[in-house]
């Protein structure tokens, strides 16, 4: 049984964790999910690290939704650096799943994008845990999580 940690925030405007959890449960019954919720995006790194070190998770998803302002973008960058440091300190993957509010043209698209990106990254978590060779086959394909794939630069 593999343990997957999921950390989300109260700042996010969409419940991305529920979408990721639903997808993971569809993909495998051999996953135990431990969910934690923190206030904001800069709280994600330590929560992820704690799930890896204290809860024994094999991998963690960090779900966040930075706002539209420049300050929000700076906070997202700082959180991303913290997530990278936590990965290096634990030698385990933390899949960063950020959806910036200004990526979507309206509220409906924002909801759709956040859920779809969470689901598609949940698939990546599944592949990392159970079928890493599948990711190798997808290398260089221009795949995107959320919006449409862009495809390879050359065929």
Beta carbons of 41 and 77 less than 8 angstroms apart = no
What local confidence, expressed as pLDDT, does residue 83 receive? 98
Are 75 and 108 in contact by the 8 Å Cβ rule? The answer is no
List the domain boundaries for the chain.
3-138
Q: What is the pLDDT of residues 40-81, one digit of tens each?
A: 999 999 999 999 999 999 999 999 999 999 999 999 999 999
Tell me if 2 sits within 8 A of 30, measured CB to CB: yes
Question: Within 13 A of 44's CA, how many CA atoms are on the CB side?
Answer: 34
Q: How much is the pTM?
A: 0.94
Domain 3-138 fold is Rossmann fold (3.40.50)
The pLDDT assigned to 66 comes to 96
Rounded distance between C-alpha atoms, residue 142 and residue 26, angstroms: 25
The Cα-based distances of 38 to 24, 62, 102, 116 in angstroms read: 21, 10, 22, 21
The answer to whether the CB of 115 falls within 8 A of the CB of 51 is: no
Mean pLDDT by 10 residues, the chain (155 residues): 97 97 96 97 98 98 96 96 98 98 95 97 97 94 87 84
């Amino acid at each position: 049984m593999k343990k997957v940690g999921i950390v989300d925030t109260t700042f996010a405007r969409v419940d991305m964790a529920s979408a990721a959890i639903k997808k993971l449960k569809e993909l495998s019954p051999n996953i135990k999910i431990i969910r934690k919720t923190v206030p904001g995006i800069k709280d994600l790194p330590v929560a992820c690290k704690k799930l890896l070190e204290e809860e024994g998770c094999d991998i963690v998803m960090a779900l966040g939704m930075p706002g539209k302002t420049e300050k929000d973008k700076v906070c997202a960058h700082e959180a991303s650096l913290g997530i990278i440091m936590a990965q290096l300190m634990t030698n385990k993957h933390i899949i960063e799943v950020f959806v910036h509010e200004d990526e979507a043209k309206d509220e409906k698209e924002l909801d759709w994008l956040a859920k779809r990106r969470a689901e598609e990254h949940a698939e990546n978590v599944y592949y990392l845990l159970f079928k890493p060779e599948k990711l190798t086959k997808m290398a260089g394909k221009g795949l995107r999580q959320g919006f449409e794939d862009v495809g390879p630069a050359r065929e």
